[in-house]
């Protein structure tokens, strides 16, 4: 399968669409209990869950052009570092920014760099009015990322069958 061309670049990160050939990256990312701690209590994704993710991500590129979940690698050495997304929360009108990084990549400002590029793209290119972010109440790192990219704490909300902290960004008038 041909590797898709980079879709967006930030100073350190290259983002591109996922293909089915990338299932091993997702399996690796989701196999680390530290990564999955605030997502599902630390359980690695099963092969069936990884396959479902790959299908959903692939389908959403054509269902929702311009939105998606993009594979992230370091520009300097090509290392896989995880993914960033700007996508509808299923069965809601809400578009969320999201990210999941391999543990080796944490603590270097990479989540902030990638998420801030997607939020800017959402407001400036897609002209979205509102982008949200949600986190587990204990996920301070993710909450800090959302605030650093300009989203504002907005209390509690209910998404993905969970009670979560909500962060909201609104487009500034031009």
Ligand X SMILES: CC(C)(COP(=O)(O)OP(=O)(O)OC[C@H]1O[C@@H](n2cnc3c(N)ncnc32)[C@H](O)[C@@H]1OP(=O)(O)O)[C@@H](O)C(=O)NCCC(=O)NCCS
Residues contacting 53, CB < 8 A, separation 6+: 26, 30, 45
Stretch that binds ligand X, among 12-20, 47-55, 64-72, 144-152 (CB under 6 A): 144-152
> DSSP string of 107-129?
TSSHHHHHHHHHHHIIIIIS--S
Binding mask 34-53 for ligand X (x = CB under 6 A): -x--x---------------
Cβ atoms 32, 103 nearer than 8 A: yes
Stretch that binds ligand X, among 45-53, 71-79, 121-129, 132-140 (CB under 6 A): 132-140
Q: Does 141 bind ligand X (CB under 6 A)?
A: yes
> DSSP string of 48-77?
HHHHHHHHHHHHHHHHSTT-EEEEEEETTT
User: Which of 3, 90 has the CB closer to ligand X?
Assistant: 90
Binding mask 73-112 for ligand X (x = CB under 6 A): --------------------------xxx----xxxxxxx
Largest CA distance in the chain: 46
What residue ranges bind ligand X (CB under 6 A)? 35, 38, 99-101, 106-112, 135, 139-142, 144-145, 148
């Amino acid at each position: 399968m041909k590797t898709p061309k980079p879709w967006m670049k930030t100073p350190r990160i290259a983002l591109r669409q996922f293909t089915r050939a990338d299932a091993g990256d997702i399996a690796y990312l989701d196999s680390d209990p530290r990564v999955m701690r605030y997502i599902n209590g630390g359980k690695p994704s099963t092969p069936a869950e990884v396959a479902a993710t790959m299908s959903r991500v692939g389908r959403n590129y054509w269902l929702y052009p311009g939105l998606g979940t993009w594979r992230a690698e370091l520009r300097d050495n090509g290392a896989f570092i995880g993914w960033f997304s700007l996508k509808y929360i299923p069965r809601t009108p809400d578009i969320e920014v999201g990210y999941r990084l391999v543990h080796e990549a944490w603590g270097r400002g990479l989540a902030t760099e990638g998420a801030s590029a997607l939020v800017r793209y959402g407001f400036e290119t897609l002209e979205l009015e509102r982008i949200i972010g949600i986190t587990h109440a204990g996920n301070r790192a993710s909450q800090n990322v959302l605030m650093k990219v300009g989203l504002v704490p907005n209390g509690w909300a209910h998404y993905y069958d969970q009670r979560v902290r909500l962060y909201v960004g609104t487009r500034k008038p031009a």
